[in-house]
Structure 1
């Protein structure tokens, strides 16, 4: 193939960059993802745009930063009118389909205002991040006193489990995400003490193999028309539990050493310190909890890699590897006790740097096969890259798309970005209330130039700074260091300039704006002309040599 015809966009949920063997993990072997890296380009400095599922994914799908698209937290709707990769690709004749998770919340109020019915073709696409849906499964069907977290969560998967003989009203929880004591008692995967137990499900029926088969079913059903398939896996996201044999493959001798210090724990920083004191931070700060979670986290990743083997072998056998660009990445990482934190909602590389591997089957990419790029890249770069795969010109969309196409890096032509950005809106969290911050103040912004990383906060809270060359584990906060005052000012100015970009001017292209500078006004508006000779004759032709009878007073 002269160029890729199709796109397989694989995203894992909460997969840390350093838990793949191609990124250096010494014990967790991921040969199938490694093999893809040997055929493509592995990016070593790929950054997400927000350390939380929803806003990170909305940035990736729109190719825009969070405070451009506005979907700043989970279940904050992506507003009607925001274009996504599905919109761009369909305009270029390429279908764009979802198999798996988006964490998208539809703007129901905006749709109603515009008369968009959710069950119409356009309404359905607006409701699903611009994707056509083969199967949406956000992998979340928790149930509390007020009902389900997501009424649509895991519905198709639960139907599948029922067809396989798993009983109850929510087999997603009772089997796929819980253990069993042998006497029929469900041991919920929500409780970290159960993490090292095997999920009470046949491995074939668990979520990761199920989604692999659904992705293959979609691809198998496609004809000759070009397609993009967003195969979006739920794991290794919590609940931290996995079926046998993966639950027992790893132990403490296989874990990466925990990265944290007592100096960190003693921080006076209100946001960082407050996150440490959150329940998930307190839990993962306990070694026995971390060890149980790490066993299953590594097992989940091993299962993911095994399924990549199933998928990639099938693509080889069916000839799809010859015409399909394949991207493997994640929406964010997982602290797993590093820095005394759990989850992902802060800005250490543990959380905001992700694996990203891109396989381009075209001959132009041959010189770059098996290489590692140290360029700063962002997940918003994927949308313009996909536009170019579909035959479009991403530069014509630079007034909307804020990422850069990866094609130059994939083809060995080089490309530079001086900075990467990430942001997090925590105005909906208990920490915001505890710190008595207004919703406009409960935000943080990160910028890195590859060596230094600056994190700025609202509410007059002091910044944090890390020197990632001298302190790659990001253990020493230099935010109050007088020796680094110049660095803080420099990166703060970068953030300030970035924040002032015209991100909301999306209805007219930059090219049109530039062309307009040199265009004569030819629509009859003449400003500043004192006499006819001051203006080109053709522009005043409609105003000269005209006759009209004088008005007589009565």
Structure 2
């Protein structure tokens, strides 16, 4: 039974373990928990790159970073790269965006192909295959991703005027004597954002999603709506009453060890020296920032409760599959790091919940799956859910629908990639730009990180779940490294580069030269007649 619609919710920089259904001891996420109770919660889901842009391009194409080529934030996805929107449009499904994509258009490639960004096809290509009902990447509203977002105009219309309302109101706090305190600065994370909660980004995007669904419900065409929140990504500042909902007592102990600082891998050592890492090592920083991070998550949860009630009221709940996830995690000081970008669990593993309303999924409702899954699995999952034809020559992920509907499949390992050429690890270590690449392969226990030009990193998550002990140079684990390298090389040898012709097309075309009177290797007319007779006999006298 195919679903009618899909609501695909993505948070930005939400760790897998900051949900109460995932075991966090104090955060309150009752609506996300309720979603998990009526779906499948995947506990071992991994992104294809632990940074916004490349991760999202893998979500939106269903392809590994090595295949789509957008290896860092702001590196354009090349014009012509097939996207989820292309596959859904072919079967009559709208692929709609409300929120963030971090997509930067390949304007040079579009000019080369004569594609005008203002045309229908130009919008499709430049918006990563989405119909942009509301594009807003936040973060840098005057920058290259989504300049002049409608949210700025919305704030102005409600009396919150400024040259940059997003920063001036939604991401700043009030200080003494009328001072405005920047939410970019971690010192102000304990203060309330200046914007009223009902005018905040999270509330606004939720309203816009409901507005789209109301219009689309009247239109009647099936849709996939990507509701992509820009929080709990920094700036870590949240409006009242969420700013003081949590306190220092709610902050879980930091996961780091002095052992990690003794002779660390050179690339890891450079990341520990990044400003965003050093600040989280200061006393008191986590206790100030993490309560705001938790408040941002609970705010999202509250608005999801509003959204789920709307689905019920509009009669959409029984025909809409809901998928909840994140584009990567956040170190928050764990492992002496800030931000994301390396392959520890808190960075590369994500929350993933799939709630399929169809009776076919009743058998797994409320269950937890420990299958190894990847972000690229969502694109083929959505195509499958809508009843579309599989495209394994393009989509490198695997549909999760069998797992959601009680069948089983196993993946031997997951892959994630990262290009660190834009970080100090390149200049600290004198690495050529072309060699600034890392690849993780993880089999559910052993996690190997290949770093071009260096020894690998290796962690055993069974004996060392906190990933404190790097076994990359340990002779006793040479066999494990060899096995994981063999898996990585097998993956590297099987790129999905032939995307214009499917395996089915090849099978159908095999041996058809004779039908086209391409007579290669025949001696005379008798040879040709005999070959044609043999062909008719083999095909059961079917023409062509």
Question: What is the TM-score when the length of structure 1 is the normalising length?
Answer: 0.93
**How many angstroms does 1:530 deviate by?**
5.5
**How many angstroms does 1:220 deviate by?**
0.7
Residue 528 to residue 74, structure 1, CA distance change in 2 (3 Å): same
For residue 356 of structure 1, give the secondary structure of its aligned residue in structure 2.
Answer: strand
In structure 1, the residue matched to 2:111 is 112
- In the alignment, is residue 245 of structure 1 matched against residue 241 of structure 2? yes
**Pairs aligned (count):** 532
Q: How does 1:141-220 map to 2 (within 5 A)?
A: 141=140, 148-150=142-144, 152-153=146-147, 155-220=149-214
Q: How does 1:514-533 map to 2 (within 5 A)?
A: 514-517=507-510, 521-529=514-522
In structure 2, the residue matched to 1:437 is 431
In structure 2, the residue matched to 1:497 is 490
**How many angstroms does 1:524 deviate by?**
3.8
In structure 1, the residue matched to 2:69 is 70
Would the aligned equivalents of 1:140 and 1:153 in 2 still touch at CA under 8 Å?
no
For structure 1, the residue ranges without an aligned partner over 5 or more in a row are 143-147, 541-554
In structure 2, the residue matched to 1:404 is 398
**How many angstroms does 1:519 deviate by?**
5.0
User: Aligned partners of 1:521 and 1:416: how far apart in 2?
Assistant: 42
Q: How does 1:347-496 map to 2 (within 5 A)?
A: 347-394=343-390, 397-458=391-452, 460-496=453-489
Map Cα deviations across residues 15-53 of structure 1 (whole Å, 9 max, x no partner). Answer: 000000011101002100000000000001111100110
In structure 1, the residue matched to 2:60 is 61
User: Aligned partners of 2:340 and 2:94: how far apart in 1?
Assistant: 32
- In the alignment, is residue 41 of structure 1 matched against residue 40 of structure 2? yes
Map Cα deviations across residues 173-207 of structure 1 (whole Å, 9 max, x no partner). Answer: 11100111142211001111111111111111111
Q: Give the root-mean-square deviation of aligned CA atoms.
A: 1.7
For residue 141 of structure 1, give the secondary structure of its aligned residue in structure 2.
Answer: coil
Map Cα deviations across residues 42-100 of structure 1 (whole Å, 9 max, x no partner). Answer: 00111110011000000000000001000111111111111111111111011111000
**How many angstroms does 1:268 deviate by?**
3.2
User: Aligned partners of 2:70 and 2:212: how far apart in 1?
Assistant: 29
**How many angstroms does 1:512 deviate by?**
2.5
**How many angstroms does 1:318 deviate by?**
1.6
Map Cα deviations across residues 259-299 of structure 1 (whole Å, 9 max, x no partner). Answer: 11001022331111110011111111123112211111011
- In the alignment, is residue 344 of structure 1 matched against residue 335 of structure 2? no
Question: What is the TM-score when the length of structure 2 is the normalising length?
Answer: 0.95
**How many angstroms does 1:247 deviate by?**
1.1
Would the aligned equivalents of 2:195 and 2:239 in 1 still touch at CA under 8 Å?
yes
Q: Which moved more, 1:496-505 or 1:32-41?
A: 496-505
Q: Which moved more, 1:81-90 or 1:506-515?
A: 506-515
User: Aligned partners of 1:513 and 1:449: how far apart in 2?
Assistant: 33
User: Aligned partners of 1:149 and 1:180: how far apart in 2?
Assistant: 25
Would the aligned equivalents of 1:329 and 1:354 in 2 still touch at CA under 8 Å?
yes
**How many angstroms does 1:518 deviate by?**
5.4
For residue 516 of structure 2, give the secondary structure of its aligned residue in structure 1.
Answer: coil
**How many angstroms does 1:153 deviate by?**
3.6
Decide which structure has the larger Cα Rg and report it.
1
**How many angstroms does 1:359 deviate by?**
0.6
User: Aligned partners of 2:508 and 2:432: how far apart in 1?
Assistant: 42
User: Aligned partners of 2:427 and 2:66: how far apart in 1?
Assistant: 21
For residue 72 of structure 1, give the secondary structure of its aligned residue in structure 2.
Answer: coil
User: Aligned partners of 1:268 and 1:44: how far apart in 2?
Assistant: 29
Would the aligned equivalents of 1:138 and 1:154 in 2 still touch at CA under 8 Å?
no
- In the alignment, is residue 304 of structure 1 matched against residue 297 of structure 2? no
User: Aligned partners of 1:106 and 1:425: how far apart in 2?
Assistant: 19
For residue 183 of structure 1, give the secondary structure of its aligned residue in structure 2.
Answer: helix
Would the aligned equivalents of 1:3 and 1:363 in 2 still touch at CA under 8 Å?
no
Q: Which moved more, 1:475-484 or 1:11-20?
A: 475-484
Map Cα deviations across residues 471-507 of structure 1 (whole Å, 9 max, x no partner). Answer: 1111111111111110101101111111111321111
- In the alignment, is residue 266 of structure 1 matched against residue 253 of structure 2? no
In structure 2, the residue matched to 1:549 is none
User: Aligned partners of 1:538 and 1:480: how far apart in 2?
Assistant: 61
User: Aligned partners of 1:284 and 1:175: how far apart in 2?
Assistant: 25
**How many angstroms does 1:416 deviate by?**
1.2
User: Aligned partners of 1:521 and 1:449: how far apart in 2?
Assistant: 47
Would the aligned equivalents of 2:104 and 2:145 in 1 still touch at CA under 8 Å?
no
- In the alignment, is residue 510 of structure 1 matched against residue 503 of structure 2? yes
Which of 329, 335, 340 in structure 2 is aligned with 1:333?
329
Q: Which moved more, 1:194-203 or 1:12-21?
A: 194-203
Would the aligned equivalents of 1:29 and 1:302 in 2 still touch at CA under 8 Å?
yes
Q: Which moved more, 1:426-435 or 1:364-373?
A: 426-435
